[in-house]
Amino acid sequence: MTERTRGDADELYQATIVDHDRAPRNTGALIDATHHATIDNPLCGDVVTVHARIADGVVRDLRFEGRGCALSRAAASIMTTMVRERSTDDARRLAAAFEHFVQAPPDAAVPDDLGELHAFAGVRRFRSRRVCATLGFRALLAAIDRGT
């Protein structure tokens, strides 16, 4: 078992995450959405739905809704702010980079292209919670791949 301290909880729930959990950005339905997908977290029954308007390979607009813990809500919220007006290829690259980041060992170097998602460095010490952080991105990828 990895040795942990109570300070890990403070590192996990950084101000950025608490802020996005309390006041998530870009939530709710999207009237002119072209793509949708819903992903469940069977561990806890949490669910995230992503609605996107995608045109010419670009994510023009993006919203999410559902229920979840602070980590899944904050990650989905930050995701919506970073993916808007970016190409679906960029969105895929960001999703892959974030997945790689949270799966890395706790002391691995932090990549410099993750924007506010850097706040999730602490989740690398919480094996069972990594799936919470990546729920929104998995819903986005599912929407891009097959959701209409």
Partner 1 sequence: MDPSRSEPSGQSTAGPAAWRREFPALDAPVHGRRLAYLDSASTALKPRAVIDAVVRVFTHQAGNVHRGVHALSEAATEAYDAARDDIARFLGGRPDEVVLTSGTTGALNLVAHSWGRAHVGPGDAVIATALEHHSNLVPWQALCAERGATLRIAPIDDRGRIDLEALAGLLDDRVRLVAVSQLSNVVGTIAPVAEIAALAHAAGAIVVVDGAQAVAHLAVDVAALGCDFYAFSGHKLFAPPGTGVLWGRRALLEAMPAWQTGGEMVASVDYARARLREPPHRFEAGTPNIAGVIGLGAAIRYLATLDRAAIARHEARLHARLREALAGEDRVRVLGAPEAAVVAFTVAGAHPHDVATIVDREGVAIRSGHHCAEPLHHRLGADASARASLALYNDDADIDALIAALARVREVLR
Per-residue b or e along 102-128, where b marks 16 or more CB atoms closer than 10 Å to that residue's CB: beeeeeeeeeeebebbebbbbbbbbee
Which amino acid, one-letter code, is at 51?
H
- Is 137 a binding residue for partner 1 by CB under 8 A? The answer is no
Helix, strand or coil, per DSSP, at residue 79: helix
- Is 65 a binding residue for partner 1 by CB under 8 A? The answer is no
Bridge partner list, 27: 64
In the bound state with partner 1, the residue whose beta carbon lies nearer, of 54 and 131, is 131
Question: Which of 23, 31, 32, 45 lies at the binding interface for partner 1 (CB under 8 A)?
Answer: 45
- In angstroms, what is the minimal distance from the CB of 55 to partner 1? 34
- In angstroms, what is the minimal distance from the CB of 143 to partner 1? 22
* Site mask for partner 1 (CB under 8 A), range 95-134, x = bound: -------------------------------x--x--x--
- Cα 85 from Cα 144, distance rounded (Å): 14
Question: Which of 28, 29, 43, 81 lies at the binding interface for partner 1 (CB under 8 A)?
Answer: 43
Per-residue b or e along 64-87, where b marks 16 or more CB atoms closer than 10 Å to that residue's CB: bbbebbbbbbbbbbbbbebbbeee
- In angstroms, what is the minimal distance from the CB of 104 to partner 1? 19
- Is 67 a binding residue for partner 1 by CB under 8 A? The answer is yes
- Cα 1 from Cα 85, distance rounded (Å): 42
Contact positions toward partner 1, by CB under 8 A?
A: 3-6, 8-10, 12-13, 18, 21, 43-46, 67-71, 126, 129, 132
